[in-house]
């Protein structure tokens, strides 16, 4: 592999990172090539010694995404970091990634349930306000209005509570995932 090819592959594997980070990594390797050639090595030999640029890029990317996930702590950044680490082959695909997707799926389902309950409450309240404008409207009795009102408020409040619970659950899961991923990457640095 020649130098140009090395940088092309490295660049491709770093896609998606901030430009400053990419520039720093590229500059380090640029300097490495220069010093290596000065010592009498050919560019091809130097590339050989450095190893697979795609692998180097993945490692650099994973470490950066890990840091970002740690400072941000958002579900999205954690997800990105886990995906990058999975690309490194750091996790046993079946033992870790399987359950990971399972739990992510369950979380999405629970979020949908919370939203569903909340929205059904809002819809129930909506019936109270908008039904008088519907032509086929049959006036509700006083008891009916009270019943509908409380059902609506109850459902909306319950949905809200579920939502708050989900925020905590999601945050907790993100934290746990990150801690695990960090421990793994902490041990496995490199090739």
Question: Which residues of the chain form contacts with another protein (CB under 8 A)?
Answer: 24-25, 28-29, 31-32, 34-36, 38-39, 49-53, 55-56, 59-60, 63, 67, 187-191
Compute the least distance from the CB of residue 91 to another protein, in Å: 10
Question: Is the Cβ of residue 55 or residue 127 nearer to another protein in the bound state?
Answer: 55
Question: Is the Cβ of residue 96 or residue 155 nearer to another protein in the bound state?
Answer: 96
Query: Looking at residue 76, what DSSP letter applies?
Result: H
Compute the least distance from the CB of residue 119 to another protein, in Å: 45
Compute the least distance from the CB of residue 174 to another protein, in Å: 21
Q: Which residues contact 177 (CB under 8 A, 6 or more apart)?
A: 78, 82, 100
Segment (H or E) for 147: helix 142-187
Question: Is the Cβ of residue 47 or residue 82 nearer to another protein in the bound state?
Answer: 47
Compute the least distance from the CB of residue 62 to another protein, in Å: 8
Question: Is the Cβ of residue 38 or residue 135 nearer to another protein in the bound state?
Answer: 38
**How far apart are the C-alpha atoms of 6 and 12, rounded to whole Å?**
10
Backbone torsions φ then ψ of 157, nearest 5 degrees: -65, -40
DSSP assignment string, 10-61? HHHHHTTS-HHHHHHHHHHHHHHHHHHHHTT--HHHHHHHH--HHHHHHHHH
């Amino acid at each position: 592999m020649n130098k140009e090819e090395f940088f092309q592959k490295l660049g491709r594997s770093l896609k998606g990172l901030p430009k400053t980070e990419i520039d720093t990594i590229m500059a380090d390797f640029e300097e490495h090539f220069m010093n290596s050639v000065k010592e009498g090595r050919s560019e091809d030999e130097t590339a050989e010694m450095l190893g697979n640029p795609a692998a180097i890029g993945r490692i650099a990317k994973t470490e950066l995404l890990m840091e970002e996930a740690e400072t941000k702590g958002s579900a999205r950044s954690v997800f990105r970091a886990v995906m990058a680490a999975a690309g490194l082959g750091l996790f046993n695909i079946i033992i870790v990634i399987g359950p990971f997707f399972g739990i992510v799926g369950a979380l999405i389902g629970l979020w949908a349930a919370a939203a569903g309950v909340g929205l059904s409450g809002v819809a129930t309240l909506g019936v109270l306000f908008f039904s008088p404008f519907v032509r086929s409207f049959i006036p509700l009795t006083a008891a009916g209005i009270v019943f509908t009102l409380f059902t609506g408020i109850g459902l909306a409040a319950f949905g809200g509570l579920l939502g708050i619970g989900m925020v905590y659950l999601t945050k907790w899961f993100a934290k746990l995932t990150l801690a695990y991923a960090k421990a793994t990457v902490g041990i496995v640095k490199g090739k």
